[in-house]
Chains A and B, each alone.
Chain A
Amino acid sequence: MSEPAGADDGLKTSPLHDRHVALGAKFAEFGGWSMPLEYKGGGAVKEHRAVRESVGVFDVSHLGKVVVRGPGAADFVNRCLTNDLDRIAPGQAQYTLCCAEDGGVVDDLIGYLRGDDDVLLIPNAANTAEVARRLSEAGPAGVEVVDRHDDFAVIAVQGPRSDEVLSAAGLPVGHDYMSFVEVERGGVPVVVCRTGYTGERGYELVVPREAAGAVWDALLGAGTGEKPSVVPAGLAARDTLRTEMGYPLHGQDISPSISPVQARLGWAVGWDKPEFWGHEALRAERAAKPARFLRGLVAAGRGIPRPGMNVYVDGEGSVGAVTSGTFSPTRRVGVGLALLDRAVTDGREVAVDVRGRRETFVVTKPPFVTPGSSAS
């Protein structure tokens, strides 16, 4: 049993911390931040179901916010990160990767293209300083890289009824997936992006620190009366939701030793670009084919996979290891991701060593659930 992390143990807290305390949240450490894991009266499974069936509101303010601006800022970012910013226009966002020279993943992040001279990056909490450092060192004269980690809250509204909740809170809805709108709300600028980490329809809001409480209150208050029930959802539910979709988590499924080629994230790499960090190593690995690929696992029995567990095929010994795993609240079975030898492809039956027991799983292409299908 892990001890709850408080505000007095050297961890950073969100601008919404007091509200989480008032809601009876349990806290855990995420990348140096004390963030809500689950809420009193909710719990990971209920909060998970709320997102699949109605709507949940997450505080993900621990995510980084790095501004790259100045003449040629977008071109500069495009020479560093893997995805091709030329595929999107100002007002759109993109999933991309920051790789090391050897092709390992320093971080995965969302880039918001505001204009040729202005890009907002949302890295993971634990990697923000490193991403900012690498960009800052490489930046040409006139392009500045500003780490604004503490200046903004990030609030994710996720679930099939997200639009009703945002509308009731006076925020714009209905824009295309992976596009964003910047609006003034109560005199402060709010970025409203059609993004998320749950697979459901939803939005992520970037809100100046001082306005975070008012926006949070408006979103949660939207659940009264005839409107949909809105619950605060913690990071435990966020993890089961993303695992059901097979979305990778940095530090587990992608890492400095697990490349985007191995993780089958080639779609987030601009292979036609002349350069990006790690391009030579990644092109070579892609041509040679890596020894292992990240694949999905679904339990045939009652086993629940956990990171680090070994995976076996009859007669072949170990063929890899689990990188993420949990109980799927939607399917009510164990699901996970594993790095497996190249020959172990979708449809194969494998055994996972679950603390000494051999449990059967089927290698399955994610997602493990169909978003939007749980609404009742």
Chain B
Amino acid sequence: MVPDDLQYTSEHEWVRVVGGGSTARVGITDYAQDALGDIVYVHLSDVGEDVEAGSPMGELESTKSVSDLFAPVSGRIAAHNDALADSPELCNSDPYGDGWIVEISLSDDSQLDGLLTAEDYQAAIAST
């Protein structure tokens, strides 16, 4: 399941532009949540911290392992999805909706142009 209205990274994150174009809402894809298994804890850099595209900005823990969450874009962390503190399983059950993870205030809107389209991402996961 790869919704058409989102952009993607090769690290299996999705990006939705919110707040009139200056903020990116970020989550993990359905493919990623399936591969990780049951997510039991989400640890994130603090709100207000600057993040750089491609650098780790948090960790997702499943029962068995830990995976880094990479920032898909550069900017400042504007919000966490507070619902994940008590219900990290939302990342599994609704990865593109209530299971969103962070919002990042974009340092530069043009960086969105470098992300993958749904079609590109679908092709990327089909070839793994």
Contact = CB atoms under 8 A, between A and B. Distances in A.
B50 interface: no
A306 interface: yes
Contacts of A240: 63
B89 to A, nearest CB: 7
Contact of A236 (B43, B61, B63): B63
Nearest to B88: A327
A interface, by DSSP: helix, strand, loop or mixed?
A: mixed
Interface stretch (A38-46, A98-106, A111-119): A38-46
Interface string A30-69: 0000000110000111101000000000000000000000
Interface string B34-46: 0111101101000
Contacts of B38: 43-46
Contacts of A46: 38
A360 interface: no
Given A1-B67, A38-B37, A302 B43 contact: yes
B41 A302 contact: yes
Contacts of A355: 59, 66
Contacts of A329: 40, 63
A43 B92 contact: yes
A26 B37 CA distance: 10
Interface in A254-274: none
Nearest to B92: A43
Nearest to A26: B37
B41 A44 contact: no
A45 B89 contact: yes
Interface bin, chain A: 20 to 34
B61 A43 contact: no
A1 B35 contact: yes
A239 B64 contact: yes
B62 interface: yes
Nearest to A2: B65
A306 B41 CA distance: 13
A45 B35 contact: no
A326 interface: yes
A160 to B, nearest CB: 21
Contacts of B66: 304, 306, 355
Interface in A221-254: 236, 239-240
A331 to B, nearest CB: 11
Contacts, number: 46
A363 B63 CA distance: 21
Contact of A44 (B32, B43, B63, B67): B63
A44 B64 contact: yes
Q: For the complex, would chain B's binding face be called helix, strand, loop or mixed by DSSP majority?
A: mixed
Contacts of A326: 63-64
A249 to B, nearest CB: 13
A38 B35 CA distance: 11
A301 B49 CA distance: 22
B64 A45 contact: no
Contacts of A236: 37, 63-64
Contact of B63 (A1, A26, A45, A302): A45
Contacts of A43: 37-38, 92
A283 B59 CA distance: 45
A327 B92 contact: no
Nearest to B36: A1
Interface string A318-341: 000000001101000000000000
B88 to A, nearest CB: 9
A302 B66 CA distance: 14
Residue with the greatest number of chain B CB neighbours at <10 A, chosen from A2, A45, A239, A355: A45
A239 B66 CA distance: 16
A302 B61 CA distance: 11
Contacts of B43: 302
Contacts of A327: 40-41, 61, 63
B112 to A, nearest CB: 25
17 contacts: A1-B67, A37-B37, A43-B37, A43-B92, A44-B37, A44-B62, A45-B38, A45-B63, A236-B37, A236-B64, A240-B63, A302-B41, A304-B40, A326-B63, A327-B40, A327-B61, A329-B63
Given A304-B66, A327-B63, 16 more contacts: A1-B36, A1-B67, A37-B37, A37-B64, A43-B92, A44-B62, A44-B63, A45-B38, A45-B89, A46-B38, A304-B41, A306-B66, A326-B63, A326-B64, A327-B40, A327-B41
